[in-house]
Amino acid sequence: MNRDDKTVKMVDKRDEAQAIMSKDTADDEAMKEKLNAVFRLRLLYNSGEELWRHIGKAGSGNNSFGRVGGKDAFLRRAVFHELEREWYDETGIILNGLLDAYAQAAKLMERYNPLHEDEEEGVRIECCEQIVNVCVFDDEITDKQDTKMRELLLRLQEEDTYCLAVLLLMLLGVLPLSFDTRQGDVKEMKVKYEQVYNFFLRVCHRNILFVQTPRMTLFHKALKESEEKLTRIRLVKFTADVLCNLSILASAEQIAENGRRVQWDQLYPDLDGYWLSEQHSEQYPDYWQVEELATNYLFSHYFQKEDEVGKLHQQEFTVSFYSNGEDYACVQHPRSVLQWLNNEKLSKDDITYPHFVFWGGEKPTKIAFESFMMDVSWFRPMQLTRAKDDWNPPIEKGMKVTNDFEAYSYTFYLGLEAITPDFISVKDENGKSYRVSVSEHEELRNCTLNDAIGIITWADKRYIAFDHLMLYLPIEE
């Protein structure tokens, strides 16, 4: 090997080493920017001091957090990835992905911002509502929007949910518009949460069910927490989750698909039997009888009033239990069924979503229903204890029973007979068959043998019921 060959190899190795050092430097600079962005945006904590305290350091200034670890790039990466792990466990959000979504939302705001900074709040809210209507509810883009707004809507249809969530929160004035913000610590976070929650109440006017999606109930529950727990990253999470819930409910096809998906999260513990209320006594009975049905439970409440002797009141409710990050029950007043049958909007007064707790494993011995959202007077927070096997209800001792909800009583007979490409056949309890054409109701093409399909009888009226689709067709005899 001659001297020139050695020189060439030395130059190549030096260039390779410089390239590696250059990449390491660039990666470290990028990590500094991410750490500074997390700090400036106050994403994880409402004050910079809290973030410094959390990692066990002392510091100050919007640009100093990126230098945590001093000259050690490894420590910077460790801090970021540990923060990312902690908040993924807490919220399910990947911090790096959220920063990317934030950067994209900031670019869109800078390029397409259809509003001026001095625009009044009502105009900003109307703009956000247009975005939700198009990107979530699939409304068409029309000439009513100006050119810049149409371009923004087209771009947003291509973006993911977190980018959409961040941009909406920017427009609503609850998130900074860029990583270069100098807003400092966050104040009155509860007010900002309420502002976003009230915005969703506004866009959910299309259907009362939209207001009652599980994520809206969790959002409402969060408003009762202390302000220290209300952070920007959690607000982004709530917003993204509500947007996902609404998009699923936005079409009949997705409602059907979601209905089946939710059933996988639906719980069916062994609850059959009698349960005693906390106020139950031998003098004044107050107990529940629980019966598992095909798709939910029937909770029948029996109680005696102090001024009535030898008489029990009976009230029946349908209850479903779900576990989806939070444990919540869906409790419906029997009056709500009549609203479905008459194709009316479901009243928020006829449904409630309490939080529940079971004790005792697969065959619980105790149930607690706790206040959650949509609180109503007819189903209050309570704790029930399973009655002993030899316990006899007072109705077996000759007490008269009055059904307080007699006017809403109905029967549901599961009678799916056949599913074909052209029709769905349903048989009633007397063996009579009814055919429903799928061409008249396109959503029926998604029906399966596991869906709750049958005949509902209320008073003198009968309906072919596709309960998972909330579709009830009157039978003309």
User: 295 or 196: which carries more pLDDT confidence?
Assistant: 196
pLDDT in tens, 270-328: 999 999 999 998 888 999 999 998 778 999 999 998 888 888 999 999 898 988 667 88
Does the pLDDT value for residue 392 go beyond 90?
Answer: no
469: DSSP letter: G
The pLDDT score that the predictor gives to residue 356 is 92
Q: pLDDT band at 374, cuts 50/70/90?
A: low
- Residue 364 phi, psi (nearest 5): -60, 150
Give the length of the chain: 477
Residue 57: pLDDT over 90: no
- Work out the average pLDDT over 37-64: 81
Q: What is the pLDDT of residue 32?
A: 86
Q: What is the rounded average pLDDT for all residues in the chain?
A: 82
Question: What are the pLDDT digits (tens) for 330-340?
Answer: 888 888 877 77
The pLDDT of 197-206, averaged and rounded, is 81
CB 468 within 8 A of CB 260: yes
Four-CA torsion 252, 257, 258, 259, nearest 10 degrees: 90
What average pLDDT does this structure show over 429-440? Answer: 90
pLDDT of residue 364: 95
Residues 6+ apart with CB under 8 A from 213: 242, 245, 246, 249
User: Is residue 213 over pLDDT 60?
Assistant: yes
Q: What is the largest CA-CA distance in the chain?
A: 115
| Contact residues for 116 (Cβ-Cβ < 8 A; gap 6+) | none
What percentage of the chain carries pLDDT values higher than 90? 20
> What Å distances lie between residue 27 and 32, 70, 216, CA to CA?
9, 15, 40
pTM (predicted TM-score): 0.60
Q: Which of 103-112, 326-335, 465-474 has the highest mean pLDDT?
A: 103-112
DSSP-assigned letter for residue 212:
T
Q: Which residue has the higher pLDDT, 387 or 179?
A: 387
DSSP code, position 276: E
Tokens at residue 96, please?
A: 């790096």
User: What φ, ψ does residue 187 adopt, rounded to 5°?
Assistant: -125, 155
DSSP 294: S
